[in-house]
Structure 1
Amino acid sequence: MEHLLFKILFICFMDDFVYAYTLTNEQNLHTALLSGYNKDLRPGTDRTYPLQVNASFYLFSIKEFDLDTGKLTITGVFQVNWYDERLSWDLTTYNQTNSTSIPQQKLWLPDLINVNPYENIRGLGSDLIKVIVFYTGLCDWYALQAFEVICDADVTDFPFDTQYCTLKFFIWGYQPNEVNVNFISSGIILTLYTENGIWEIADSITHTQSNLYGYKEIVVGLHLKRRTAYYVVSLVLPITTIAGLMGFVFLVPHDSGERLGFSITVLLSIVVYLTIVQDMLPEASEPNISILGYILVSYVLSGAFVVVLVIISLRIQNCPSDKPVPQSIVQLVRCCRRRGKKKDTVEPINEKSGPVDDEESDEHVTWYEVGKWFDFVCFISLIIQLTLTCVTYFSIVLS
């Protein structure tokens, strides 16, 4: 017990001893370090070896991603550290002062320039940021900044799309054999990240690559996946439900007088809904237009085609009874009769007239019956077309 108490007192004493330096000690340290210091020369006593610079990227938030303009705005911080032997000192000389903060404009910095900016080319950091310098010469620089970069979006699978965006940086003014940058981690560090309501980070990557001229580029990559719940509920399901009503117009009795009005109402509903959701759809045409845009256009064309079919159906069912039905249509109706008739149906036998001939009973075909079979075929065709459209769309965007 006494031994443990001694250890605690010794640690507390050493802690007070380490941080016992005064303002005068730190002021003298700054004077000594910056006297004759040339920030235009890179660190490194032996110039035959490149300066090793280690980097990490912490993402704070995704502020904005405009698919129409290709503008991605994120907030993050680069942690960059390197050794500058000119900034090392002896602890005993300055009363155990083990670290100090120096404004970044007074020290040499690796000039990381963003080479894919949305507007202005700018480097990391600002005059408000300081560099933490340790007595070993280790410089630790936290460059906090809002980055605006160009990200060419592919909206083909909207709203089930994923995007890959990169931040590219280049150390300006140095040859590849003078400064070498390495990432400590293989991905973006998300310990300080605040979730975005529209995009989620599916994956991330940080690495260096050589460009066409042999210079190293520092790349921070983000795989962004859209959160689809809102778009499915407010966009995909409603428009699909409205489109599904188009086929049911052929189940409305033709003598009710509501068929044409029902079909036009469904068509107008699709057109009105299309104008409402137009702001949600991105306007980008490169590399491809959104498949959902083609789906909406196909629904509008189908609605217009349904109106034409309803008019044709009404014309068929209101044809004069004395007008003969063309033989080709008679044959089609007879074929539909045979397919619709159950195989196990037993026909009654008339004792006086003998067995009923199926062919004789099927000879008479009216325009009213032609219209009924026409409605049936249109209904089945539209339901199949809508089902195939939905299955094809989801199989493409979710594959």
Structure 2
Amino acid sequence: MKEVIRGFLLFCSLVSTVSAYTLSDEQNLRTSLLTGYDKELRPGIDRAFPLQVNTSYFLFSINEFDMDTGKFTLTGFFLQQWFDERLSWDPANHNQTNSTIILQNKIWLPNLINTNPFEDIRGLGSELISVRVSSTGLCEWYALQVLEVICDPDVSKFPFDTQYCTMKFFIGGYLPYEVNVNFVTSEVFLQLYHENGVWEITASTTHTKLNLYGYEEVVVGLHLKRRTAYYTVSLILPVLAISVLLGFVFILPPESGERLGFSTTVLLSIVLYLTLIQDMLPESSEPNVSIIGYILVSYVMTGAITVIFVIFGFRIQSSCKKPVPRFIASTVKCFRRKRKGVNSAESLETKSVAIDEDDNDGVSWIEVGRFFDKMCFIVSLIQIAISNIIFMSIVYS
């Protein structure tokens, strides 16, 4: 019996909450509300107090971020709530009509005007959007908008860069003591957000501030981080591998005749990657130029110097008929590896070279060339390692 009574009471409560108003009731209500309504006057009976507008921003998607032009396009909507006493009524006088829908161009709106647009300055919403008005005068406006704003990119750490892009608005014509905008939360609502393939949102911010002209400025900011998996696999790792190859040209046998062609091919590969990266980056050099651009330029310079050293190494090998200068022979002898035993049999290469034992301390041009290749190989690897360490320390700092 108790369960039956409890079920009946629940049913009665549900029935009592169902609105039974008709089309005529809502039509009469809208006629009553809009008769004599002046949408150019802001709500608020007591003008000594500002109208409080509660707002939130819901982000749907990031559509585009053009690094060349700084065009940042995204889709979302502002949910704005305020009280308009002129749009309040007693539901009992209108057959329990608790709410209605009114097109946004028929009532006053706290229309936010974008102050950092990419092209045209315009407000929110459109003629297709309506405002839901409740009997208490509470107005709820879902201002859906595709926004195109200017965001100056900082590519100094490309492709491991982070960006901070903002959307700035103000309610035109109203000072803070007339209309006061309050964000419900200090962050953007991302429950409806669809992930972007290039950019990841690491943080967001929403706040208001006074600009230089005394108007209240509404700011919505997004902290973006580039997704680096694609660039790491297709750009960073190949460049690092090619740069390491620069040093290994010096361990190729000189008689193979492939040194010059190998070093030139590696140099052209680095130049190709430099061209590809330059196409990805904006032409503007402010605030900073990409560090990877400097690294690739250093690789190009290293490649050019490598080609010069290869040619110089060939020149050393062709100087067999000339005596080795004493200071060169002394340097080579200081860094000569110690051998376990003395080989009494001379190689065919040594026999073909005229050596003055008193002038060059037993050092031939062939040994000078090998010593030169070894030093170039070590220095090249050290230079590449230092460049890569500098690059990684900067991008992860």
TM-score normalised by the shorter chain: which range applies? over 0.9
Q: Which amino acid aligns with 1:280?
A: M
Structure 1 window deviating more from structure 2 (307-316 vs 257-266): it is: 257-266
The answer to whether the 8 Å contact 2:82/2:138 transfers is yes
Identity of matched residues, %: 61
Distance 1:42 1:94, change over 3 A: same
In structure 1, the partner of 2:293 is 293
Supply the distance in 1 between the matched residues of 2:276 and 2:22 (Cα, whole angstroms): 67
Pair 1:326 & 2:328 matched: no
State the alpha-carbon separation in 1 of the partners of residues 233 and 59 from structure 2.
30
C-alpha distance in 1 between matches for 2:135 and 2:57: 25
| Equivalence map 1:47-126=2 (5 Å) | 47-126=47-126
- Aligned ranges for residues 151-170 of structure 1 at < 5 Å? 151-170=151-170
Match for residue 380 of structure 1?
Answer: 378
Could you tell me how far 1:201 is from its partner in structure 2? 0.4
Offset at 1:86? 0.6
Look up the match of 1:196. Answer: 196
- Partner of 1:320: helix, strand, or coil? coil
1:371 match: 369
Residues 87 and 137, structure 1, Cα contact 8 Å, conserved in 2: yes
**Match in the other structure for 1:12:** 14
Alpha-carbon offset, residue 213 of structure 1: 2.4
Distance (Å, rounded) in 1 between the aligned partners of 2:37 and 2:90: 17
Report how many aligned residue pairs link the two structures. 382
For 2:266, the equivalent position in structure 1 comes to 266
- What SS does the corresponding residue of 1:21 show, helix, strand or coil? coil
Query: Quick one: which amino acid aligns to residue 105 of structure 1?
Result: N
8 Å CA contact 2:260–2:307 kept in 1: the answer is yes
Residue 244 of structure 1 pairs with residue 244 of structure 2: yes
Shift of 1:346: 7.9
| 1:156-235 pair list within 5 angstroms | 156-235=156-235
The code of the aligned residue for 1:329 comes to: I
**Structure 2 counterpart of 1:258, one-letter code:** E
Q: Does 1:341 align with 2:343?
A: no
CA contact (8 A) 2:201 2:225 kept: yes
For 2:171 and 2:272, the matched residues in 1 are separated by 53
Aligned-pair CA distance for 1:111: 2.4
How far did 1:272 drift? 2.9
| 1:72-106 Cα shifts (integer Å, max 9, x gaps) | 00101000010001100001111111110000000
Residue 398 in structure 1 maps to residue 393 in structure 2: no
CA distance in 1, matches of 2:51, 2:269: 66
Q: Secondary structure at the match of 1:368?
A: helix
Distance 1:11 1:102 in 2: 29
Distance in 1 between residues matched to 2:168 and 2:265, nearest whole Å: 52
- Secondary structure of the residue aligned to 1:101 is strand
* Counterpart contact for 1:103–1:130, Cα < 8 Å: yes
Report the AA paired with residue 3 of structure 1. Answer: I
Residue by residue over 1:107-146, the C-alpha shift from the partner in whole angstroms, topping out at 9 and shown as x without a partner, is: 0011211111111110111111100000000000000000
Q: Quick one: which amino acid aligns to residue 334 of structure 1?
A: K
Find the residue that maps to 1:389 and give its secondary structure.
helix
Q: Tell me if the contact between 1:208 and 1:219 (Cα under 8 Å) persists in the aligned partners.
A: yes
Amino acid at match of 1:112: L
d(CA) in 2 for partners of 1:283 and 1:241? 27
Whether the 8 Å contact between 1:155 and 1:284 is mirrored in structure 2 is no
> Which runs of 5 or more residues in structure 2 are unaligned?
344-356
Contact 2:68/2:281 (CA < 8 Å) preserved in 1?
no
- Structure 1, gaps ≥5 residues long: 349-358
SS in 2 for 1:245: helix
Q: For 1:175, what is the secondary structure of its paired residue? A: coil
Note closer, same or farther for the CA distance 1:316–1:224 as it changes in structure 2 (3 Å cut).
same
